[in-house]
Amino acid sequence: MYSIQSNQKLKPFTTMAIDVVASNYVAINTVEDLQSFLKSSYAKPLYILGGGSNIVFLQDYPGTVLHIHNLGKGVMTQGENEVLVKANAGENWHEFVLWALSHDFGGLENLSLIPGRVGASPMQNIGAYGREIKDVFYELEAVEIATGKIRIFNREECQFGYRDSIFKNELKGQYIITSVIFRLTTKHHQLKTDYGAIQNKLASMNVNNPTIQDVSKAVIAIRESKLPDPKKIPNCGSFFKNPTILNEEYLLLKQHFPEMPGYVVSDTHTKVPAGWLIDFAGWKGFRNETVGVHDRQALVLINHHEGSGKDILNLSNEIVQDIDAKFGIKLEREVNMI
Ligand code: EPU
């Protein structure tokens, strides 16, 4: 059963902590409730909220905000060196990662401490330190908003890309993810520790032969040192995507800015860290009365004093314009704004 509340404050449900109200709000605990809600004549438009870590509301929401709360996780099948693990969409992502680690299931350790919930993780193919959801993804279950019908999506059907999937493109606004199945390792874990930050942290922890738990501890320590805790300083993690530019453009820029980092991603393109661009342009630690740029990671915008969604939007626009003017690179937002 579910009940619909009117004029619900959304501030506690979003990590950017913007003070807005939803005309109607409903928390859903089961797939059956979700299906019956979708078949009812609810107030439209509909917004699906998970952990609220990737959304900035620009104004009060006029229709219905649907909060996915379905909990539960467990092993589906166990093979020789593999296990299929299912988690419902409402599970907290990091708690799920810790649960997998406590069972010695490998594959999620680099994705420790990412805010949000399981249901949103495939939406933008969350990633960190060289691992993305797509590397361990098996399939997901989703409910079609228009019909309430259940559909299973395999890895190919999700069309994963860098912070991207079919649910942000062709099927945007059409499905609600209700559970995700991951394929994890039980033995012979394949560690991904080639990121400099991870290597340095493991060395400082005096770890030579890291376990998946060690890698997770290193990732947690790195993230805690750079990224603000949303409970203390409201934020949405990386606000922009790292832009990909043509190799020729990168080489030209490198002549003017020899320190500019870049990672070759294909024969034709190079990825440049947006955090470096924003930092180099002088924005790191910038603050106006309400919002600003984090002082230890320039890719993160913060709401330090009751900022509105429009304050965040204005700051992000100023940064986009400045980066375009200085480097000729157009930054794209990773965070959704509605
Ligand atoms: N850099 C700066 N100044 C800054 C920030 C970064 O010079 O203020 C430079 C760093 O020195 C480094 C480069 O930029 O040379 C890359 O920085 P970092 O390793 O911190 O990673 P990132 O590219 O800024 C991405 C993800 C993060 C993820 C980290 C680690 C995106 C948009 N962001 O950040 O994801 O945790 O890599 O893999 O791809 C998130 O999505 O919310 C998120 C935090």
Please report, for residues 47, 87, 188, the alpha-carbon distance to residue 98 in angstroms, rounded to integers and kept in the order given: 29, 13, 19
Nearest CA to ligand 1 atom 6: 275
pLDDT tens digits along 5-58: 999 999 999 999 999 999 999 999 999 999 999 999 999 999 999 999 999 999
Q: Looking up tokens 């937002």, which residue turns up?
A: 333
CB atoms within 10 A of CB 171: 17
Please report, for residues 173, 209, 261, 264, 270, the alpha-carbon distance to residue 251 in angstroms, rounded to integers and kept in the order given: 39, 38, 11, 11, 10
- pLDDT for residue 139: 98
- How close is the Cα of 92 to the center of ligand 1, in Å? 23
Please state the rounded mean pLDDT for residues 318-323.
98
- pLDDT for residue 113: 97
Nearest CA to ligand 1 atom 7: 276
Nearest residue to 260 via CA among 238, 234, 278: 278
The H-assigned helical ranges of the chain are 31-39, 93-102, 155-158, 196-204, 212-226, 247-256, 274-280, 309-327
Nearest CA to ligand 1 atom 33: 238
Closest ligand 1 atom to Cα of 128:
38
Instruction: List, in order, residues 6 or more apart from 170 with CB less than 8 Å away.
Output: 159
Please state the rounded mean pLDDT for residues 210-238.
97
- How close is the Cα of 276 to the center of ligand 1, in Å? 8
Q: Which residues pair with 5 in a beta bridge?
A: 25
Please state the rounded mean pLDDT for residues 84-94.
98
pLDDT tens digits along 292-315: 999 999 999 999 999 999 999 999
Give, for ligand 1, the residue of 15, 109, 257, 299 to mutate: max count of ligand atoms closer than 8 Å to Cβ: 299
Nearest CA to ligand 1 atom 26: 128
Closest ligand 1 atom to Cα of 242:
32
- pLDDT for residue 228: 97
The count of residues in the chain is 338
Closest ligand 1 atom to Cα of 261:
15
Nearest CA to ligand 1 atom 16: 273
Question: Which protein residues are within 6 Å of ligand 1, measured from CB?
Answer: 128-129, 227, 237-238, 241-242, 261, 273, 275-276, 279, 284, 297-299, 334
Give, for ligand 1, the residue of 93, 133, 238, 239 to mutate: max count of ligand atoms closer than 8 Å to Cβ: 238
Closest ligand 1 atom to Cα of 223:
36
47 phi-psi bin (left φ>0, alpha ψ -120 to 50, beta other): beta
- pLDDT for residue 93: 98
Q: What pTM, to 2 d.p., does this model score?
A: 0.96
Q: Which residues are catalytic?
A: 163, 238, 334
Nearest CA to ligand 1 atom 25: 128
Q: Using only the alpha carbons of the chain, give its radius of gyration.
A: 20
Q: Are 85 and 102 in contact (CB under 8 A)?
A: no
